[in-house]
Chain A
C-alpha cells in the first residue's frame, strides 16, 4: 500500500538531528517548542501591556488563566506555600497546554523538514521526561527547603513499613508523569495521522476533537499532579 498524499504521510520515530559538539538534539522538538513558546509569550506580552483595573480583551483571558492556575495551585499545595510554586505550576500547565493544542491545531505538515516532522513538543519522550524530572526536583526542593531534613520523616509516615513504597514512589512519579503525557499526545497524533492516512476527509474530525479534549485534560492532569506532589512534600502533618 503505497499512497503519497501530501498531507497524509506517517513518520514515527524519525528525528531531525542537530549536532552540537558530540551531542545530538531533536531539532523538530526545539523548532516547534520555540514556535509554541513564542505564541505563548506573544499572548502574554500583548495581554499585559496595558494593565487596567477594568480588564478588557486579552487581559481578561490572562486573568482568568491566572485565577484558574492559582485555584489549582492553592487547592493542591495549600494556602501557605502555593505562592512560591504558582509560576512553576502555571508554566507547566501553560507550556503543556499550548504545546498539545499547538500540535493539534497548527498545520505543521506545511513546513517540510529534511527528516522527521514537526508536531507537539510533548509528543517527544525527551520533553515529557524533562518536565517530569523538573517536577521531581521541584518537590524534593520544596520539601527540603521548607522542612529541612525533617522532610524525610515523610518516608516513614504513618509507619516505617511505608519506607520502600515511598522510595519506589519517587521513581514511579516521574515515570508515570512522563509516560502518561507522552503516550496520550503521541497516541492522539498517531490516531489522527492514521485516520487521515486512510480516509483523508471528515472521518478524522471526531478524533481531532477528542484529541483537543485529551490534550487539555493531560495538561490539567500534569499540572495538578505536579502541584499535588509539591503539596505532599511541604505538607506539615500534625500529630
Chain B
C-alpha cells in the first residue's frame, strides 16, 4: 500500500511509520469481537456478582436494622417487665415482713397469756396447799396444846 513517510532505515518501498493497510479494518473487527467476548466473560458476570453483592449488602443491612429495632423493642419491654417484677417482689417482701411481724406478735401474746394463766393457777394451788398445810398445822398444834394441857393437868 501507499506509504507516506519513509525513514532512512526503511529502504524497501514498503513500510514506514504511517503505513496504512488492511491491518486497520481487521484490527477494528478484532477489537469489536474482543468487546463482545469481554462482555460475555468479564463485564456481565463481574457486574452481576458486584451488583448481587450490593443487593445482598443492602438487604442484609435493612434486615439488621429491623432486627436491631426489634431487639431494642424487646429490651424496653423486658426492662419494663423487670421493673414490674421488682416492684412486685418488693411488695411481696414487705407483706411477708408484716405477716411475720403479726404472727410473731400473736404468738408472743398467746404465750404471755398462757404463762400468765399458768402462773396464776399455780399460785392459787400454792395458796390452797398453804391453807391446807396451815389448817393441818393448826389442828396438830391444837392437839399438841391439848396434850400438853392434859399432861400438865394430870401431874
Contacts and interface: CB of A to CB of B under 8 A. Distances in A.
A130 B24 contact: yes
A87 B23 CA distance: 23
A11 B45 contact: no
Contact of B41 (A10, A45, A55): A45
B135 interface: no
A29 interface: yes
A30 interface: yes
B10 interface: yes
Given A94-B38, A124-B23, A15 B31 contact: no
Nearest to B53: A53
Interface size of A as a range: 35 or more
Interface in A43-58: 44-45, 48, 51, 53, 55
Nearest to B27: A130
A62 interface: yes
A194 interface: no
A30 B23 contact: yes
B38 A87 contact: yes
B22 A23 contact: yes
Interface in B14-36: 14-28, 30-32, 34-36
A90 B38 contact: yes
B21 A26 contact: yes
A125 interface: yes
A121 B30 CA distance: 12
Chain A interface helix/strand/loop/mixed: helix
Interface residues of B, number: 42
Given A53-B53, A86-B43, A133-B28, A95 B23 contact: no
Nearest to A92: B31
B28 A53 contact: no
A111 interface: no
A14 B27 contact: no
Contacts of B134: none
Contact of A15 (B15, B41, B42, B45): B15
Interface string B1-20: 10001110110101111111
B107 interface: no
Interface of B: 1, 5-7, 9-10, 12, 14-28, 30-32, 34-39, 41-43, 45-47, 49-50, 52-53, 56
